[in-house]
Structures are given as C-alpha cells and as structure tokens.
Amino acid sequence: MNKYFHAFLLGLQSNLVYRWNFAVRGFFSMFHLTVVFILWGAAYTGNHSIGGFSFAQTLTYFLVMLVMQFFVGAFNEDYQISEEIRNGLINQFLLKPINYFLYRFSIFIAARLVTGLLILIPLAITIPLLRDYLTLPTEMWRIPLGLVAMAQSALIQFSIAYCFGMLTFWFLEIQGFVILSMAVESILGGQMFPLDLLPAGVFRVAQFLPFYYQTYFPVAIFTGRISASGAIAQGLVIQLFWVVTLLTVNQVLWTRGLRRHTAVGG
C-alpha cells in the first residue's frame, strides 16, 4: 500500500506544477456557468418552475455538478495512459511488482485533490454573486449518501477513461473515441440539462446506463432532485453494478491488450 501512497505523492507534486493551467480552466468554467445562468434565466422568465424545480434549484444543480467534476471527473487520464502505452513507458510497470491500475488511480486521486481545491478559489468569488440564486436542501442524510455516490462516480469516470486508454493497444489514436464518448456522456450524464427533464421513457432507460451514475446521480442526491429513499438505494446498487462491471472490463482489456503489446526500446 505504501508504494501507492508514494505514487499519490508523486501525482500531487506533478499536478501542482500545472496549478496555473487548472486555475485558468477553473476560471473559464465560470464562463460556462454564466452561459447556464443566461440561458436558463431566459427559459425561466414567465415560468416559476421547470420540471417541478425552481430556477435556483436548477442553477444549484449546474454549480454542484461543475464543482463535483473538478473533484471526481476524469480530465485527461485517458490520454496520459494512452501516451504511456504508445511511448513504451508502460514497460517499466511490467517489470515491477506494481499494479498499473492502482498506480494510475493513485495519481488520479492526487490530481483531483489539486483540481478540486483549486476550483474553490473561483467558487469563493462566484458564490457571493450568485447567493440569491442558489438553494440546497437541508436534509443532512443527503451528504453521506451523496458522498458514497460521488466516490462510486469517481471510480466509474476513472474506469471509463482507463478503458479508453487501454484501446491504445488496438488503435494508435484514441482522441476521436474519447471526444465522441464525451458527447454521449455530456447528454446522458446530465451535464447539458437535468436528466429528469427528458421524456419519462427515455429517462427510465438512462437510469440503467453508466453515464447516469457518472455525474447526474450524485448531483441529484446533493441538490434534492432525487428524494425517495427507494430510488436512492436502487441507484446506489445499480451504480455499484457499473463499478464492478467497468473494473472487470478494465482487467480484461489490460490482460488482452498486453498480449498484443510489443515492448520496443530500452
């Protein structure tokens, strides 16, 4: 376990080097929040509620999602893994008693700790400006359940990124697949609009897909879009199912990918 803690510390250091890049990204994500504010503000003009939720509840949903993504979202882990496979850097892990998935996951946690803390700076500036437009439910039970869903969401997001990284064993370039998947995730993960606004049938289908549990589910628990205990318990079980499935797929891709891998160079 000690070796993964060292990988975590290494990740912490290397991510702190790029703190300005992350800070700039955090700053510009506030522009995205401005777009959300203007668009949904205009949509709510003349409507007290959309989908049963007020403007403040919808804006809070987008803000919590943005912040959560800086804590658990996989930003460029797929590209980093892909680069390590393509450049042969992965060879060193094949010769050492270290699990590559756990090594990358340790670095992922370190990276999200840095980006998560950095987003708090623009957030501290933005929240006082938006104070009148934000509202969070007061039930305390939402916090532990939301945190469990958020932890599972981190595992799902990292596992999907890891899967795309593994595709490098078969394809030289994975960028196209990643950006294609991002488009699907942004819709079915509820990043473009709250998923509960979808027609009931489509929403029901989305609840069985992993994308729902990537972002929408934990945010919906925190912001009060899901309240029924049965729905939350069922969601946590399905989310766990996707975590286990994706971890299995990761392992299969790693084993099969290594069979195709040719270690060149010294």
Cβ of residue 128: shortest distance to other proteins, in angstroms?
15
Q: Cβ(170)–Cβ(257) under 8 Å? A: yes
Nearer Cβ to other proteins (4/18)? 18
Rounded Cα–Cα distance for residues 256 and 260 (Å) = 7
Nearer Cβ to other proteins (139/173)? 173
Does 176 help bind other proteins (rule: CB under 8 A)? yes
Q: Cβ(213)–Cβ(153) under 8 Å? A: yes
Residue type, 67: V
Which tokens in the block code for residue 19?
Answer: 């703190």
Which tokens in the block code for residue 183?
Answer: 């488009």
Cβ of residue 62: shortest distance to other proteins, in angstroms?
12
Rounded Cα–Cα distance for residues 149 and 217 (Å) = 7
Does 129 help bind other proteins (rule: CB under 8 A)? no
Cβ of residue 184: shortest distance to other proteins, in angstroms?
7
Nearer Cβ to other proteins (26/235)? 26
Q: Classify the phi-psi angles of 51: left when phi > 0, otherwise alpha if psi is within -120 to 50, otherwise beta.
A: left
Q: Site for other proteins (CB under 8 A): which residue of 9, 143, 151, 180? A: 180
Does 170 help bind other proteins (rule: CB under 8 A)? no
Nearer Cβ to other proteins (124/179)? 179
Q: Cβ(157)–Cβ(73) under 8 Å? A: yes
Q: Site for other proteins (CB under 8 A): which residue of 1, 95, 140, 179? A: 179
